[in-house]
Amino acid sequence: EVHLLESGGGVLQPGESLRLSCVASGFAFSNYAMSWVRQAPGKGLEWVAHISSGGGSTYYADSVKGRVSISRNNFGDTLNFEIYSLRAEDTATYYCAVFSVGFDHWGQGIPVIVSS
Amino acid sequence: DIQMTQSPSSLSASAGDRVTITCRASQDIGNYLAWYQQKPGKVPELLIFAASTLQTGVPSRFSGSGSGTDFTLTIASLQPEDVATYYCQKYDSAPYTFGQGTKLEIK
């Protein structure tokens, strides 16, 4: 069974940095591209970052480009996401998701609150 | 970038009704279109991929159609457990944009 477990969220102040992790199990992690999707409170889904199966290609939403970095460790079956210079509008639940035909598996999500 | 526009943004229907949600892409995306269901307080789940292929385990009352720029999600006979917000998403290439969502309620 596919399992994705996010960690690293919490309450942070504007300007701080954050590192989220997603540990994968139950599938061949290194064979699949992965993404991060976020959802602000009461709002819709927003795709924010994507990384190819081998890690050589990355893509970012314009809303976060230049402030975030996605990476992966295929030996440890872990997906990472760093957000720098946090803003109030980064407040959201962040999901890691497996990409194949769309996102067919999602983690439970990890809340990030940016507040002074 | 390609924009994804869903309509309506909200919808109220009676149990047993046929319900249709539309999604329009601002450019041709072929059939690289997925639909997701997100029940209140839950994680999104993939319903349909390749515009019309049901994900394993999805009830057959759900169906998808379309290609190019215009797509539809249809629920043949609405059930109480279908109360959720539904999202379309393009996945041909990044950015993997979602539609704004359609909130479906039962009358």
Report the pLDDT value the prediction gives residue B104, as an integer from 0 to 100.
98
The whole-number average pLDDT for the span B28-50 is 98
Q: Please report which confidence band the pLDDT of residue A23 belongs to, taking 50, 70 and 90 as the band edges.
A: very high
Report the pLDDT value the prediction gives residue B25, as an integer from 0 to 100.
98
Report the pLDDT value the prediction gives residue B11, as an integer from 0 to 100.
97
Report the pLDDT value the prediction gives residue A87, as an integer from 0 to 100.
96
Q: Closest residue of B to A95, CA-based?
A: B43
Tens of pLDDT, residues A57-108: 999 999 999 999 999 999 999 999 999 999 999 999 999 999 999 999 999 9
- CB neighbours of residue B68 within 10 Å: 14
- Please name the amino acid found at residue B11: L
Among B1, B4, B36, B96, most A C-beta atoms within 10 A, so best to mutate, is B96
Question: What is the phi/psi pair of residue B82, to 5°?
Answer: -85, 0
Report the pLDDT value the prediction gives residue A111, as an integer from 0 to 100.
98
Mean per-residue pLDDT over chain A, rounded: 97
Report the pLDDT value the prediction gives residue B93, as an integer from 0 to 100.
96
Q: Please report which confidence band the pLDDT of residue A25 belongs to, taking 50, 70 and 90 as the band edges.
A: very high
Q: Closest residue of A to B6, CA-based?
A: A44
Tens of pLDDT, residues B50-94: 999 999 999 999 999 999 999 999 999 999 999 999 999 999 999
Q: Using CA atoms in the order B31, A106, A21, A23, what is the torsion angle rounded to 10 degrees?
A: -110
Cα angle: A41, vertex A43, A45; to 5 degrees: 110
Q: Which residues of B touch A108 (CB under 8 A)?
A: 43
CB B58 within 8 A of CB B48: yes
Report the pLDDT value the prediction gives residue A70, as an integer from 0 to 100.
98
Q: Please report which confidence band the pLDDT of residue B47 belongs to, taking 50, 70 and 90 as the band edges.
A: very high
Tens of pLDDT, residues A40-56: 999 999 999 999 999 99
Interchain CB distance below 8 Å, B94 and A101: no
Interchain CB distance below 8 Å, B101 and A45: yes
